[in-house]
Amino acid sequence: MNTELEKLHIPGAAVVVTQEDHILFSKGYGYEDLEPKRAFDPAKTMVRVGSLTKSFSASATMKLVEQNKLDLNEDVNRYLHSYKASQYQNHPFNLHQLLTHTAGLDEAIYDINSSTRAGVLPTEQYLSTYFENQPPIRKPGIQYEYSNVAFSLIGNIG
């Protein structure tokens, strides 16, 4: 781990192995903060989840696909009820394209930050506003473009 952290210029990381609700192994590597050099402690170091949630969303989505509750190739609008995702020139996009960051969505950001909890928009309201203001910018399935919005939409579907 230390060799990889150094090679990739990552200051610190944790490895935690679980089985059901038991921690089998837990160890920190490197530093949580380079100034001052504080060791990375998996029990105490705060790790912001950020894009880690995409793995969980993808896993949950694939479980629903395995259970035939979702279809990877179906227009996502089939699964949306209170709003619809806009399309690029009448080309619908699907879950497969959302999961692979090829849905043609732009990474514009609207009203996601707030200084108070009361100011945070519910996901469904945010996505409805997003698709009203920002249609996809390219035909789906053509180009990879990392998309937080895609995974927000996946989470809103599942």
* First-to-last C-alpha distance (Å) of the chain: 34
The predicted model scores a pTM of 0.72
Q: Give the pLDDT band of residue 126 (cuts 50, 70, 90).
A: confident
pLDDT digits 0-9 by tens, 6-29 = 999 999 999 999 998 899 999 999
User: Does the structure show a pLDDT above 70 at 80?
Assistant: yes
Q: Please tell me the distance from the alpha carbon of residue 73 to that of residue 57, in angstroms, as a whole number.
A: 17
List Cα–Cα distances, 8 to 13, 36, 39, 41, 83, in angstroms.
Answer: 12, 21, 18, 20, 42
Amino acid at 2: N
Amino acid at 108: A
pLDDT digits 0-9 by tens, 24-78 = 999 999 999 888 889 999 999 988 777 788 988 999 999 999 999 999 999 999 9
Closest CA to 157 of 85, 55, 49: 85
**Beta bridge mates, 17:** 25
